Amino acid sequence: GENVEQHPSTLSVQEGDSAVIKCTYSDSASNYFPWYKQELGKRPQLIIDIRSNVGEKKDQRIAVTLNKTAKHFSLHITETQPEDSAVYFCAASILSGGSNYKLTFGKGTLLTVNP
């Protein structure tokens, strides 16, 4: 099936620790893997993305790694801060039918950073 699995569903860390969220996908034709952050009552917003021709991408405290062979990708947040507390979603751009791609999301991870 064309789905994206995300783990864990909840994650609690102490301020300053690292947080890792993992996702797997089923379609080997997938070529784009974004991560979104959603604060309570707000819309999802992109924090980082990676394309299939790259294995790792970093932006300050946030990094994403992609293993195309194993079909999994991960979000790494270092030196976590209370304002990192939110729901994080992974997604994959999955080929559907003929030549169209759809953006499919994982079920989300509620990250809580304790002061």
Q: Which is nearer to another protein, 6 or 74 (by Cβ)?
A: 6
Q: Is 62 in the site for another protein (CB under 8 A)?
A: no
Q: Is 89 in the site for another protein (CB under 8 A)?
A: yes
Q: In a 10 Å sphere around its CB, with 0-12 CB exposed, 13-18 middle and 19+ buried, how is residue 62 labelled?
A: middle
Site map 18..57 versus another protein, x via CB under 8 A: -------------xx-x--------xxxx--x-xx-----
CB 19 within 8 A of CB 84: yes
Q: Which is nearer to another protein, 57 or 78 (by Cβ)?
A: 57
Find tokens 């405290």 and name the residue.
Answer: 61
Q: How far is the CB of 101 from another protein (least distance, A)?
A: 4
The DSSP element (H or E) to which 66 belongs, if any, is: strand 62-67
Which two tokens mark 74?
Answer: 């991960």
HSE, side-chain direction, 13 A CA sphere, residue 37: 12
Residues that bind another protein (CB under 8 A): 6, 9, 31-32, 34, 43-46, 49, 51-52, 89, 91, 93, 96-97, 100-108
